[in-house]
Structure 1
Amino acid sequence: MTNTMWMRGVEWLAAAAGDPRTCKWEWDHGEGVALLEAGRFWDVLSVPDRLGLLTLDLLWRPGIPVPGPTLIDTAAGRVGFLLPPDPAGGWVGAGLRYATKGAWVAVPPPYRPARFLEWLVPPDGSGTLHSPGALEEALRQANGTLAVLAPPCGQ
């Protein structure tokens, strides 16, 4: 990523904060993490890390646009995909968590990890998010793959 892309990514992400200047200050001088409200510019679908990493790998294919912004929380063992806001929050399934309007999400700056949070695909400032349809299909594929790889119960 070029410096211009980093700066656009910072501005785009900070725009979700109540006070973008304070948000950027927190990233540079505070704990390195800002709490941003979901539901205005994006929502976050959080999944267990094995499922999320395999899903991201399936989304990262030649001929398909680069996946949208994706976070990993190594302490919680979760991967978060930024999607267009969906007030209905129609994502349900074992282990899925959906953050929309009224939910707050801890995010590091696009240019470095902070604590246990890191961007696997940082925002580039263009506003590109994950396509819900493509993400759902990749999640189904990844879930099927993990089910095949899982040991039988009791072993």
Structure 2
Amino acid sequence: MHTTAPASWAPRLPPTHHTWENHGAQWLASTMDPPSIILAEWSDSPDHLAEVPLGVLFDVLRVADAIGLPALEELYQQRVALGPVLHCQPRQTVELLVPVGAAEKWDALRGTVCAGQGGTLRCPAPGTVSRGRTWLQPPSGTGVLTDPEVLRAALMPRARRSHHL
């Protein structure tokens, strides 16, 4: 069982990392009114965990590490386009940003929970680590999100086999 991301599963960083982090932070902040709230909190305290509202730009699928990390490894090796992925060590979950409305349509799989409108994502600024949370695939600011059906296909066999969740 994996409890940390495999070494081969590393974020795909664009050439201008600093600019990319700013675009990703601005994209996450755009869920707030005004966006400057989150940006100021991250600027004042780099280890701050922002409470980003769900159901504005994205929903979040929380998946137990035991099935989520191997599924991500498989998708990464298949070169599937993935949206932002947050690893939450304290919860032992990976949290994938998926399109708005996915939470309403998600048929629960063992070891998964999908949250949307009314929920929040507690996350550090892209490029930082805070309280055991780090972006495995930070937001780029492009709005690319993970396709929940592709993710379901990768998770389903692992969820069925997993007896310890």
TM-score scaled by length of structure 1: 0.85
Counterpart pick for 2:44 among 29, 36, 50: 29
Q: 1:65 to 1:94 in 2, by over 3 A?
A: closer
1:72 corresponds to which letter in structure 2? H
Residue in 1 aligned with 2:86? 71
Cα distance in 2 for partners of 1:107, 1:19 equals: 18
Q: Deviations over 1:90-141 (max 9, x none)?
A: 2312232111001111011111111121101101111000011211111124
Cα distance in 1 for partners of 2:157, 2:113 equals: 19
Please state how far the C-alpha of 1:41 moved relative to its aligned partner: 0.4
- The answer as to whether partners of 1:47 and 1:95 remain within 8 angstroms in 2 is yes
SS in 2 for 1:98: strand
CA RMSD in angstroms comes to 2.0
Please state how far the C-alpha of 1:47 moved relative to its aligned partner: 1.2
Query: Structure 1 residue 11 and structure 2 residue 26: aligned?
Result: yes
- The answer as to whether partners of 1:35 and 1:105 remain within 8 angstroms in 2 is yes
Any stretches of 5+ residues in structure 1 without a counterpart? Answer: none
Residue in 1 aligned with 2:116? 100
Cα distance in 2 for partners of 1:19, 1:33 equals: 17
Write out aligned runs for 1:65-144 (5 A): 65-86=80-101, 88-143=104-159
SS in 1 for 2:136: strand
User: How many residues align structurally?
Assistant: 147
Cα distance in 2 for partners of 1:141, 1:122 equals: 26
Identity level (%): 29
Residue in 1 aligned with 2:54? 38
Q: Deviations over 1:42-86 (max 9, x none)?
A: 000101112111111111024x34311101110111111100011
Structure whose alpha-carbon radius of gyration is higher = 1
